[in-house]
Structure 1
Amino acid sequence: MILADENIDHSIIAALRAAGYLVDSLYESHRSLSDAAIIELARHPPRIILTEDKDFGEWVFAHGIRDVSVIFLRYHFRDTAALLATLLELLRTRLPNLHGAFTTVAVQKIRIRPL
């Protein structure tokens, strides 16, 4: 399951759901949570945080937060369709590798860092 941060465009959430992924949107269900609360929410049950917020990188790398999974999206709005294609292919082919990792996804670049 994916936990989509409030900053994730609804079209991305809709496309992920249409592709069969379970996506819990914080915008729809838990607005205004702190990053720390989002991390805790993502732990039980385990979910991958989907975000455009660089602060999650700080939580993981500077504060040493582990036992969390993050997909960090980096793109310009005009590249949404291309990014979505990259994201869907990543989920289709490498989903098991994303658990317990910090993954950065750009239009044509993916970096998976196991935590």
Structure 2
Amino acid sequence: MPLRFLVDESCDYIVVQALRQAGHDVLAVVESLRGAEDQKVAEYAWREKRIVITEDKDFGRLVYAQRQAQTGVVLVRFPASRRADLCPALLSLIQRYENQLAGTFVVLQPERVRFRKLPE
């Protein structure tokens, strides 16, 4: 079953394309919520039961400090020198851990993945 994602404006559009090509249900902030503040993006993702994919570390603050409810968050941290590895790593993460992404804050880095349960 395809997962439902909301890709933040901070991510390259190639992420949206790769997820769609893989058959996932993907909304892009740049297409439907352009310019929305992080709080609005987070609220929309929660209402629509979508996992946020972002490169914006502020989502950690929203989730943990401000207790903003979320379906799930994948924070992507890839340096410019490793950008070519981003989409393959993200697709691999989703394929391998698809049943564990909901309810989790994931930090995806080259050769490293960290999972932390979302606050209730």
Normalised TM-score (structure 2): 0.89
Contact 2:63–2:70 (CA under 8 A) maintained in structure 1? no
Map Cα deviations across residues 60-104 of structure 1 (whole Å, 9 max, x no partner).
Answer: 122223343110000123312212211111101111211011100
Contact 1:2–1:50 (CA under 8 A) maintained in structure 2? yes
Q: State the partner residue of 1:23.
A: 26
Aligned pair partner of 2:93 in 73, 84, 90: 90
Decide which moves more: 58-67 or 79-88. Answer: 58-67
Q: Which runs of 5+ in 1 are unaligned?
A: none
Contact 1:39–1:68 (CA under 8 A) maintained in structure 2? no
Deviation at 1:9, TM superposition (A): 0.4
Are 2:61 and 1:58 aligned?
yes
Normalised TM-score (structure 1): 0.92
Contact 2:51–2:102 (CA under 8 A) maintained in structure 1? yes
Q: How many residues align?
A: 115
Aligned pair partner of 1:100 in 100, 103, 108: 103
Q: State the partner residue of 1:34.
A: 37
Are 2:36 and 1:12 aligned?
no
Give me the identity figure in percent.
Answer: 35
Q: Which runs of 5+ in 2 are unaligned?
A: none
Q: State the partner residue of 2:114.
A: 111
- Which 4+ residue blocks in structure 1 deviate beyond 6 angstroms? none
